[in-house]
Structure 1
Amino acid sequence: MEKKNIAVVMGGYSSEFQISLNSGAVVCEALNTSAYNVFAVHILKEGWFYVAENGQKHAINKGDFSFGVDGTNVVPDVIFNTVHGTPGEDGFLQAYWKLLNIPHTSPNFYQSALSFNKRDCLSVLKGFGIKCANSYYVNREVAYDVDEIIKKVGLPCFVKPNRAGSSYGISKVNVLEDVEKALEKAFAEDHEVLIETALVGTEVSVGVYKLHNEIHVFMPTEIVSENEFFDYEAKYLGKSQEITPARIPEDEIKKVQEEAKKVYSILGMSGVTRSEFIIQNGEPYLIETNTTPGLSKESIIPKQVRQAGMNLTDFFGSLIEEAAGRF
């Protein structure tokens, strides 16, 4: 059987580009090279390139997403998307690849755009009975009243950019005087900001994926942060414990898995996603869902894959075959 050409796309234009490069490197390393020709493709502000193993860069032709390799023009058969943030998690690249008719491992452009916008995604899911924290939305261009905000969400609360990942720009606010400072920090990442009641409970993260049209759910991972919340340091600099499976009662595991599956199904997802919940008084409350979750060695999905008795080579391969079949 002829090998498929797989472009592992990584980078992006957001603060998360380096984390994405790490995710992409893990995928390139794990893919089965006897089944696939693997090409590392960097999408960065300075340009789009296929980066060869010797570090040589070959420009991408944006007309058909092709690139030159040893005198041959390669058009990917499937794209393995590991871009966190814009333009690979918010639907832009997905829409472009759809127009070019190239299969990719992430959800389609509308699902990606909707889930990347935390405000809009939570609004849709609340209509289906998914429990979420009380929230208040602020736009930089529209006047707001801090007292009014706190009257609705209370203290402590979280102030977060509406469209950013890896906990960039997020603050936990305990006193009224710190709200403005937290808003400025969030506005540095996005002109839309989401303010939410700080839920009290166990934080868990649940991976969900689809194979042969069937939705599968991993065991939840419990997140124990050394910091006040699961911030950038906790996620990437070892300031947290991530325990799989989570140390929660069996009925709570089932409940949170069912909610994660329901979120995936309601939103019409594909590929692998990761949803974050706080379990408060035995009930899971959704924080957000990610359509291109981290795949670096420190990331949660690779740990959940291993806990489920799979290896990354087989899991990533199955995502590629699922994507090829979908298109």
Structure 2
Amino acid sequence: MKIDIAIIAGGYSSEREVSLRSAAFVMKCLESTAYQPWLVDISDNEWKVTSHKGESYSVDKNNFTSMVGAQKIAFKAAYIIVHGTPGEDGKLQGYFDMIGIPYSSCNAATSALTFNKYYCNQFLRSEGFTVAKSHRLLKGDMWDSNEMVESLGLPIFVKPNAGGSSFGVTKVKELEQLDRAIKLAFDEGEEVLCESFMGGREFTCGALHFHGKLTAFPVTEVITENEFFNYEAKYVVGKADEITPADLSSEETLEIQSLTKKLYRSLDCSGIIRADFIYDGKIFRLLEVNTVPGMTETSFIPQQIRAAGYTETSILVAILDELLN
């Protein structure tokens, strides 16, 4: 008898479709294992389970079960692949904590902290990480573009403070662009982060605690023809080169992996996380932390898993085994 596992995807953010693509890949990886994956699609209006025949059934949120025809499905664990709210901000984690269902990602407190880029960076700065200088704006705040540029310099990265990193992000190169960029970021949320530009090569590194050991995966370098690694660069074929393992010396690779593991411990992470860095040839500066990284076949983490000599299926099974044993 297979163990029923919920693969939770969708969500309320602009990254909903990417989340569903990640979920489809995770489910494919688990098909021939001891686990029976069920897609649980979370939207503004409802939570629904999709059967293997494509039929939809409602989820009872009181106990996280579903009647699929005459069969009652009681999920034993949840694999969270919701990008943005409520999968990365701690809301789903708090729900599962209350009803006693184990889940794959960081806990509610860690998720809430890492989802707020400003607070997370201030904490990580106190832990010794090098991060960009920044200003946070709340909806309704007034700002002086001249003062912002004087303080942060140009270019300035403007992005939603809480949310994914793909939507509402602008690289502002001229003063006249700043107001529009801030307004665009406010379309994605209630808070906006304006950060000083950090030049250099961009790298990303995943990490996971499994088999009793914290492991950092091989590093990926991201090279894009775009101004920065935005939504188009991430998801449009040919817009970026992703080199795994990255062309770094063994010492540089070890340094970024050590920083990623230090970050994992500092934030008390669980499951798979990904840390993004900028490297100017001297210092690895932290860009941001992603506690629910993408899991499509071409996403960074699957690339790094394969480069490390594992299969995606073996890693997913290890995560679920650890949750349930």
TM-score (norm 1): 0.96
Equivalent in the alignment of 1:221? 220
Paired with 1:303 and 1:212, the residues of 2 have a C-alpha distance of 20
Q: In the TM superposition, what is the alpha-carbon distance from 1:72 to its structure 2 partner?
A: 2.1
The residue identity in structure 2 corresponding to 1:311 is T
Equivalent in the alignment of 1:71? 70
Equivalent in the alignment of 1:131? 130
Q: In the TM superposition, what is the alpha-carbon distance from 1:38 to its structure 2 partner?
A: 1.5
- Percent identity between matched residues is 39
- Aligned pairs for 1:86-165 (under 5 A) are 86-165=85-164
SS in 1 for 2:57: strand
CA offsets 1:129-186 (integer angstroms, 9 cap, x no match): 1110111111222222112211221001101110121420000011111100110111
Equivalent in the alignment of 2:322? 322
Gaps in structure 1 of 5+ consecutive residues? none
SS in 1 for 2:27: helix
Q: In the TM superposition, what is the alpha-carbon distance from 1:98 to its structure 2 partner?
A: 0.6
Q: Which runs of 4+ in 1 moved over 6 A?
A: none
The residue identity in structure 1 corresponding to 2:36 is N
SS in 2 for 1:96: helix
Paired with 2:100 and 2:290, the residues of 1 have a C-alpha distance of 24
Paired with 1:269 and 1:48, the residues of 2 have a C-alpha distance of 26
CA offsets 1:1-22 (integer angstroms, 9 cap, x no match): x532111111001000000000
Equivalent in the alignment of 1:36? 35
Paired with 2:43 and 2:32, the residues of 1 have a C-alpha distance of 25
CA offsets 1:69-119 (integer angstroms, 9 cap, x no match): 341211111111111100111100000001010011111111111101101
Paired with 2:246 and 2:197, the residues of 1 have a C-alpha distance of 21
Aligned 8 A contact 1:236 1:298 in 2: no
Q: For structure 1, which segment, 3-12 or 92-101, has the greater mean C-alpha deviation from structure 2 after superposition? A: 3-12
Aligned 8 A contact 1:136 1:152 in 2: no
Q: In the TM superposition, what is the alpha-carbon distance from 1:229 to its structure 2 partner?
A: 0.3
Q: In the TM superposition, what is the alpha-carbon distance from 1:34 to its structure 2 partner?
A: 4.0
Paired with 2:31 and 2:19, the residues of 1 have a C-alpha distance of 20
Paired with 1:76 and 1:33, the residues of 2 have a C-alpha distance of 18
Paired with 2:74 and 2:109, the residues of 1 have a C-alpha distance of 24
Paired with 1:33 and 1:5, the residues of 2 have a C-alpha distance of 13
CA offsets 1:23-79 (integer angstroms, 9 cap, x no match): 000000001434012211111123100101221100000101100134121111111
Paired with 2:250 and 2:199, the residues of 1 have a C-alpha distance of 20
1:302 aligns with 2:302: yes
Paired with 1:252 and 1:150, the residues of 2 have a C-alpha distance of 33
Q: For structure 1, which segment, 158-167 or 302-311, has the greater mean C-alpha deviation from structure 2 after superposition? A: 158-167
Change (3 A) 1:57 1:32: closer
The residue identity in structure 2 corresponding to 1:202 is R
Aligned 8 A contact 2:30 2:36 in 1: no
Equivalent in the alignment of 1:312? 312
Equivalent in the alignment of 1:177? 176
Paired with 1:193 and 1:268, the residues of 2 have a C-alpha distance of 26
Equivalent in the alignment of 1:258? 258
The alignment's C-alpha RMSD in Å is: 1.2
Equivalent in the alignment of 1:280? 280
Q: For structure 1, which segment, 288-297 or 145-154, has the greater mean C-alpha deviation from structure 2 after superposition? A: 145-154
Q: In the TM superposition, what is the alpha-carbon distance from 1:281 to its structure 2 partner?
A: 3.2
Gaps in structure 2 of 5+ consecutive residues? none
TM-score (norm 2): 0.97
CA offsets 1:249-276 (integer angstroms, 9 cap, x no match): 2222111111111111000000000110
Aligned 8 A contact 1:277 1:285 in 2: yes
1:19 aligns with 2:18: yes
Say how many residue pairs are matched.
324
Paired with 2:251 and 2:183, the residues of 1 have a C-alpha distance of 41
The residue identity in structure 1 corresponding to 2:6 is A
- Aligned pairs for 1:228-267 (under 5 A) are 228-238=227-237, 239-267=239-267
Paired with 1:28 and 1:101, the residues of 2 have a C-alpha distance of 23
The residue identity in structure 2 corresponding to 1:53 is H
Aligned 8 A contact 1:140 1:187 in 2: yes
The residue identity in structure 1 corresponding to 2:170 is S
SS in 1 for 2:228: coil
The residue identity in structure 1 corresponding to 2:147 is E
SS in 1 for 2:6: strand
Equivalent in the alignment of 2:56? 57
